[in-house]
Amino acid sequence: MAGVNEDPPPIVPSKSFELWTDIGLVIRSDAYRLRAVEWLSQAVKIPTETYDDMGPVGGDDRWDAFGPFHDYLRAAFPLVHSNLELTAVNTYGIVFVWNGSDDTKKPLLLAGHQDVVPVDLATVDDWVHPPYSGYYDGQRIWGRGASDDKNGLISILASVETLLEASFEPTRTIVLAFGFDEESSGEEGARKLGVELQRRYGKGGFSMIVDEGDGFGEKFGTTFAIPAIAEKGYLDVKIEVTTPGGHSSLPPAHTSIGILAALLVELENKPHPMRLERRSPVFLTLQCLADHAEELPVSLRDSIKHASHSEEALLDLERQLAADKLYSSLIGTTQSVTMIEGGVKANALPEHAWALINHRISTESSVEETIVYDADTLRLLAKAFNLTYITFGADATEQGTGSSGTLILSDAWSTALEPAPVTPIDQEPSPYALLAGTIKATYKFHRNLTGGNIAVSPGILAGNTDTQSYWKLSECIFRYNHQDSSNGDMAGLHTVNEYITVDGYMEMIQFFVTLILNMDESTLP
């Protein structure tokens, strides 16, 4: 398949080669480095936390935290604000449009998010530097958002500001879209941004979309960059058990909490079946590993290569990967018991208990298949405990004689999400090849390399990004942060001691400059 086993060459702009080189030298300068540090450090100092229970914008004061952040961006990036068209969507969503001179070319959409996950106050003392200090120690910038995702947002704005300072005028329109609740639901931010962008540009109106995602790092002795061409689906299943109450001195054989515990054990003991299919993004990643990973075990390399044409080898590879926590979680539908609650008093029988099962749904599966599997897995236990069984709002219930309680399965927050459409990578001309070539060119230029030294592979993102609201805008969506996971830049995501190395951050700016210039000259529609 074109663009997968082949190793796309680095791509650098030709018409703007001198400009690209000059800007690269500017980005490497000490003066620019300090300026860029200030951009990100000051952004990190402004807490923009979002929570799962936030109400609509205008009805919840916690959204007001984004006002100071917008004020800061206006001051930090004056040329972006004076040269690009700015639209506020639902107050805090940001759309910048840098109009190009050729209306026949579809725009490039660069996305990111302004919000960060909250800092657990109980962990503040565990931080090397305070979480909203934006502290610069000469090598790293510390704080919440330094690596997720203010580094991406600020890198995009820095690249545009720097190109404007160099008097660059785009041929292809460039659109920047920054949501503000990606870490909670995206309902107030990206969902409304997606509607606005579709209103302006129509379905399929963008040539390519690049949002945050995994970066690059060493795998089996070779450095791989893995832009995600798909995302897994999402479903939170709420399991509720209700039983008669009473005094704890006269207990039944099983309380609602005991029944719930048995149900959870049953689910954990029967995980969703994992199946590896050749068309899956994970199989494409494995193919690239087999072709380019220098230290991949010979037996695994042979299994991957044989699996491309042998059913027996494919099943054998599937069995091998099932034992690997990382690959099994990427391939299959996962389940995690993440929340539980029940009971109100030590001497009172609990009348109600519930738990939450978080699923990340395989690209080869669906929300419906996940729902059916969970319901079928618990059916026999519901009967054994003589519970009236109600599954996902179904009109029909299953009830034993003299039911001793109720078992209800439901979509907890009505936020079920199907797996994302898979971005095609074998088109001609190929957006994937352009992105891969840009990654390689950035990596080599930043390190003054002349050889290869990095391979690019399509992959999958286990989590979800704001792109879930942009599916209708383009069939070519990539989730990728040009960020080095091997140097620890991504180790503090959603936990203590989040940071980014300044060298890695400077390379991100170079990546976006290169991508903008390459897209501007490309023959992509």
Domains detected in the chain: 18-217+459-521 (3.40.630.10), 233-272+333-419 (3.30.70.360)
The whole-number pLDDT of residue 2 equals 40
pTM of the model as a whole: 0.94
Reply yes or no: is the peptide bond before residue 149 cis, omega within 30 of 0: yes
Q: Which residue in 131, 114, 31 sits closest to 72, CA to CA? A: 114
Identify the active-site residue in 148, 149, 181, 182: 182
- Give the tens place of pLDDT for each residue, 43-67: 999 999 999 899 999 999 999 999 9
- Give the tens place of pLDDT for each residue, 343-394: 999 999 999 999 999 999 999 999 999 999 999 999 999 999 999 999 998 7
The whole-number pLDDT of residue 339 equals 96
Known active-site residue 182: yes
Identify the active-site residue in 115, 183, 211, 231: 115
The whole-number pLDDT of residue 490 equals 78
Q: Which sign does the torsion angle of CA 328, 329, 330, 333 carry?
A: positive
- Dihedral angle over CA of 485, 486, 488, 489, nearest 10: -40
DSSP string, 180-198: S-TTTTSTTTHHHHHHHHH
pLDDT band at 395 (very low <50, low <70, confident <90, very high): low
Angle CA 267–269–275, to nearest 5:
90
Residue type, 123: T
**pLDDT over 70 at 302, yes or no:** yes
Angle CA 457–443–508, to nearest 5:
95
How many other CB atoms are found less than 10 A from the CB of residue 312?
Answer: 9
The whole-number pLDDT of residue 8 equals 83
The whole-number pLDDT of residue 403 equals 79
Helix (H, G, I), strand (E, B) or coil at 19: helix
**pLDDT over 80 at 269, yes or no:** yes
pLDDT band at 451 (very low <50, low <70, confident <90, very high): confident
Task: Answer yes or no: are the C-beta atoms of 74 and 82 closer than 8 Å.
Answer: no
Terminal-to-terminal C-alpha distance of the chain: 22
- In 47-103, which residue ranges form alpha helices assigned H by DSSP? 66-76, 78-83
Task: Answer yes or no: are the C-beta atoms of 197 and 466 closer than 8 Å.
Answer: no
The whole-number pLDDT of residue 6 equals 66
**pLDDT over 60 at 251, yes or no:** yes
Query: Residue 341 has which token pair?
Result: 């609650």
The whole-number pLDDT of residue 1 equals 37
Cα maximum dimension of the chain = 84
Calpha distance 508→499 (Å, rounded): 14
**pLDDT over 70 at 190, yes or no:** yes
The whole-number pLDDT of residue 3 equals 46
The whole-number pLDDT of residue 4 equals 53
Average pLDDT over residues 129-146: 97
Average pLDDT over residues 412-431: 94
Q: From start to end of 20-139, where are the E strands?
A: 85-89, 93-98, 108-113
Residues making up the chain, counted from first to last: 525
Quote the crossing angle between the two packed helices 502-521 and 150-165, to the nearest 10°.
60
